[in-house]
Structure 1
């Protein structure tokens, strides 16, 4: 019988508590703070458990302050968990062993590792030296990645001269130069335009397929998640709310369809509310959310009651479904 593969990531009851000093305002508060500090506990991650198998791409979603980045930092070994245990590629991350560090990378869209005043090529040479990559291999990887990311012409320019999209592509190139097996990506398309986002997604998907890599991805752009991840985990106030497939999430939490209308007259929000939940009514356009069981009746009623020029029925946007989960704080 074939031996089962060890999971790329296995977390059990993972938690992180921060101690934050509380200081009262004014001189008296400053003096008391100096003599006897008081702390309060902030629970950033609360008993999170999950497994990620080799080769998976998993979307990790949550509002700001939900615990996403803290979890990624614990998985990458930058933070020590307060509770629970975690194994990544068979290692305990916080031990930061060389064998572990050679197989992972952490890319944060709001941080940079490239040296600001040096050309991209110089930063790549430094990475090659750190990871003991021989010059011939480094040159080959440089050509390969630069071609895939379409940034051959910028490699000799100082990083400070690059646009945000060019810099993010160069950051990805530097982060993957040692061919890691496991990628922790925290908002890798943050601030990029649509074309740059598409190029980054295409590159990441290609890298995952060629290298059989595992990716844990956080993003506020739902297009990233829909394009790359077959599975999502939702975290809210440090707790894992959902772990499963995107279609299952949509079916479970979005028992409705989105109906878009183009009318020959001004949209009447009050009147449209009789057929569904009005999300938008502006000018001659309207958008409603209608329960799936009520869809035939609602569409027939709308066609009979309004001068409809165009009507379409689709699934609601993923970001709206996710937003509803977070607003309610539970599934």
Structure 2
């Protein structure tokens, strides 16, 4: 069974533009210039029950707009959506009982009351029995380590504490489908790891379907075997992350740390004529060369750099997922056989 089915989904917005000058402002009072901008442009995809899917794209690609249509917040301009066997807009009351939603920049908790009071209110909203609540939420609260936070007002929580409570609130009714829109934004590493482990656990225990949008690709790598990539409102790749990396990853990262002061322009000039792209992490003074995965080329690169400068450390890594995806966005749509 498919948890999500999307066919030719489209969402358009009107963007108004003001005319210049006083005369233009006067004319705007009577007639406005505007153009139609497609935020989501005729996309198609399905998500099976129990899948964990990464929905990724640059800012303005249409990720959040898609999530808002899938959750019934926005009405599509055209196309068809079926989520948990229902139309999110026509069966609104029944539908919201079957989903959980976490927006990283918006809260579903009441700001001035204790976290546990918000939980009790949501329990009433979702008509969850005391027995169901206790059996399920005792585990959720313990796993997310939020028991010490329950009697605190939401406004007194740190960002990491609040996000753990937001995630727990979205799971009060134990929904079969969970939408996560930037759930780890601004969080420290330890909180991210705790949230990732928890999401894996509920997916395994309850077969919960998870659609995750994030700019943190380490979240995608840790949780999702499949990714859907969006660019300018269109799907440019839908498939296994592993297959994408195997097909597109034809390069290596060679990282250098020097014992002397070296300028980025110097190493760039040193390897002029070679198919190498350099980046510098100024904080760590780490020079990274991106190069094709050919032993002879890598050997030539290392030989040139070592002969010119004293080396503190060298590491050879596969091209990171972040660099790989950045290259894909620069090139456009992906063809994976």
Same fold (TM over 0.5): yes
* Separation in structure 2 between the aligned mates of residue 305 and residue 63 of structure 1, nearest angstrom: 35
Q: Distance in 2 between matches of 1:96 and 1:27?
A: 48
Partner of 1:3: none
8 Å Cα contact 1:66-1:235 kept in structure 2 = yes
**CA–CA separation in structure 1 for the residues paired with 2:103 and 2:285:** 42
Residue 128 to residue 271, structure 1, CA distance change in 2 (3 Å): same
Which residue of structure 2 lines up, in the alignment, with residue 45 of structure 1?
40
CA RMSD, aligned part only? Answer: 2.1
Q: Does 1:323 align with 2:322?
A: no
Q: Distance in 2 between matches of 1:188 and 1:281?
A: 27
Counterpart for residue 18 of structure 2: 23
**For 2:114 and 2:193, how far apart are their aligned partners in 1?**
25
- Offset at 1:194? 1.2
> Which one of 172, 194, 197 corresponds to residue 199 of structure 1?
194
Partner of 2:314: 311
Structure 1 residue runs of 5 or longer lacking an equivalent are 1-5
1:153 counterpart = 2:152: no
Match of 1:8 in 2: 3
What is the aligned counterpart of 1:62 among 57, 71, 83?
A: 57
Looking at structure 2, the residues matched to 301 and 32 of structure 1 have their Cα atoms a distance apart, in angstroms, of 63
CA contact (8 A) 1:10 1:86 kept: yes
Aligned residues: 325
* 1:1-331 matched pairs, under 5 angstroms: 6-25=1-20, 28-267=23-262, 268-269=266-267, 270-273=269-272, 275=274, 276-280=276-280, 285-292=286-293, 294-299=294-299, 302-303=302-303, 306=306, 307-331=310-334
Q: 1:272, 1:278 within 8 Å by CA — same for their partners in 2?
A: no
What is the CA-CA distance between 1:12 and the residue it aligns to?
1.3
Please report the TM-score for the alignment, with normalisation by the length of structure 1.
0.91
Answer yes or no: is the 8 Å Cα contact 2:57–2:229 preserved in 1.
Answer: yes
**Distance in 1 of aligned mates of 2:172 and 2:35:** 41
Deviations 1:110-155 (A, max 9, x none): 0001000000010000011011112233234332211110111010
Q: Secondary structure at the match of 1:94?
A: coil
8 Å contact from structure 1 (residues 264, 284) kept in 2: no
How far the C-alpha of 1:266 sits from its partner, in A, is 4.7
The answer to whether the Cα contact below 8 Å between 2:270 and 2:305 also exists between their aligned partners in 1 is: no
Contact 1:60 1:68 in 2 (8 A): yes
Q: Which SS does the other structure have where 1:102 is aligned?
A: helix
CA–CA distance in structure 2, aligned partners of residues 309 and 31 of structure 1: 67
The answer to whether the 8 A contact 2:136-2:174 is kept is: no
SS of the residue corresponding to residue 89 of structure 2 reads helix
Measure the CA separation in 2 of the matches of 1:321 and 1:96.
Answer: 40
Unaligned stretches of 5+ residues in structure 2: none
Deviation at 1:203, TM superposition (A): 1.1
Q: Distance in 1 between matches of 2:311 and 2:156?
A: 52
Which whole-Å CA distance do the structure 1 matches of 2:93 and 2:332 have between them?
39
